[in-house]
Amino acid sequence: MKLAFDQQVFLLQEYGGISRYLCSLVRELSHKPSVEPHIFAPLHFNRNLESIDSALVSGIRLPKLPTKLFRLAMLASEALAHRAISRFKPDILHETYYSVADFCPNNTRRVLTVYDLIHERYPNLFVNSEGTIRPKKIAANRADHVICISESTRRDVIDFCGVPEEKTSVVYLGVDVDAFRPVEEECQYRPRPFLLYVGARGGYKNFDRLLRVYARSPRLHRELDLVCFGGGPLLANEHEMIAALGLSPDRVVQIGGTDAILATLYRQAEAFVYPSLYEGFGIPPLEAMAAHCPVVCSDGSSLPEVVGRAAETFDPLDDDAIQAAIEHVIESPERREELIAAGQSRHTCFSWSKCAEDTEAIYRALL
């Protein structure tokens, strides 16, 4: 069975969760008998591709380009990829993102993974929601089968895109647990205990509400720092909000860096807090669990599917509920240890080998 993965997302992401998912999937599929996966990204900007065997990828990584040259690179890569995929004669084309253009070869079945419906649920949070909504709907309805990364996402695909239920399946993502296991020696990143927040902070991520809850709780802001990993440096409006809430600027900090730094922060945090209003899946809670960090998170969208009973959950629109959940975990060593133990069992339910196994079954059912 020959599987082709197109160039789309590898032009859009230098790192990113989607490209990491696809690289992990291709790596696992390549170990299976009678399966020949290949990524066609003739010109790309993605560094995750470096993590897999070069024999599984066709393409050259480009440096960052000005906007005009970037558009030319996209057009060139698209044309080259389409030609190479046609010569490859795949049984399955797995589209890596949402394109209006149809470039599937004849006699090839098409699969699409849909990651979330955030633009459909919260269109006002984006400058050009329709620029994602329209191609996503076209690509989803054109596909022979749509893989959804959670049951929550699958319901949204059916409701917002109008895809027949029988054309959809849920395949959960995996987590790279080895990177997050505890180690004996590591540097201490913060002199004080801290809560950890990971990822982007805007809009539906609900970080502003977490900041307000942190500021209004004497227990939290007096005894714990709030550390944000990733998402870029704190913005001017975030610094203004921190000051307006009466918080010292050294108590809310942003740290960037590698997965190794993130793994250390998970291991050293008093708790990982994930207040998002909407997630297509939600890998960070599983990473935290693998690192023996108790998880306190939203009970919205896909997150209950992911965390099960291994997290302290809250209504992400209820400040009192968020505060109570965090304080309960921080104040109760018994609850903290209970969550750590439950997390050790829970994260093992999500592996890249299982993701690849379930995806292969979908491919074969189409042939």
Q: What is the CATH number of the domain that holds 360?
A: 3.40.50.2000
Looking at the structure, tell me whether residues 137 and 160 fall in a common domain. yes
φ/ψ of residue 29, rounded to 5? -65, -30
Number of domains in the chain: 2
Q: What is the pLDDT of residue 179?
A: 75
Looking at the structure, tell me whether residues 189 and 316 fall in a common domain. yes
Q: What is the pLDDT of residue 182?
A: 62
Q: What is the pLDDT of residue 240?
A: 96
Residues 6 or more apart in contact with residue 1 via CB below 8 angstroms: 34, 35, 36, 91, 92, 363, 364, 367
Mean pLDDT of the 67-79 span:
93
Q: Dump the DSSP string for 223-243.
A: H-EEEEESS-SPPHHHHHHHH
Q: Is a pLDDT exceeding 90 seen at residue 296?
A: yes
* The overall pTM is greater than 0.75: yes
Give the SS3 label for residue 43: strand
Looking at the structure, tell me whether residues 141 and 281 fall in a common domain. no
One-letter amino acid for residue 221 of the chain: H
Looking at the structure, tell me whether residues 168 and 73 fall in a common domain. yes
* Residue 113 domain boundaries: 2-174+351-366
Q: Is a pLDDT exceeding 80 seen at residue 200?
A: yes
Q: How many residues does the chain have?
A: 367
Q: Is a pLDDT exceeding 80 seen at residue 221?
A: yes
Distance CA 90, CA 93 (A): 7
Q: How confident is the model at residue 127 (pLDDT cuts 50, 70, 90)?
A: confident
Q: Is a pLDDT exceeding 60 seen at residue 184?
A: no
